[in-house]
Amino acid sequence: MNCPFCGNQQTKVIDTDKDEGVRIHRRRQCLRCGKRFNTYEQPYLNIPVIIKTDGTREEYDREKMIKGIRISCAKRPVPAQKIEQLADDIERELQMEGKREVSSRFIGDKVIAGLKMLDHIAYIRYAIVYLQLSDLHSVRDEIDRLLAESN
> Mind listing the pLDDT tens digit for each residue in 39-89?
988 766 677 899 998 999 999 899 999 999 999 999 999 999 999 999 999
Per DSSP, 90 falls in state H
Q: Is pLDDT above 90 for 114?
A: yes
Of the pLDDT bands very low, low, confident and very high (cuts 50, 70, 90), residue 14 is very high
Of the pLDDT bands very low, low, confident and very high (cuts 50, 70, 90), residue 95 is confident
Given this model, what pLDDT does residue 43 score?
67
Residue 101 buriedness (CB in 10 A; 0-12 / 13-18 / 19+): exposed
Given this model, what pLDDT does residue 44 score?
63
Residue 133 to residue 110: CA distance in whole angstroms: 18
Domain coordinates of the chain in residue numbers?
11-41, 49-150
Residue 127 to residue 138: CA distance in whole angstroms: 10
Task: Report pTM.
Answer: 0.68
Buried b (16+ CB within 10 A) or exposed e, 26-64: bebebeeeeeeeeeeeeeeeeebebbeeeeeeeebeeee
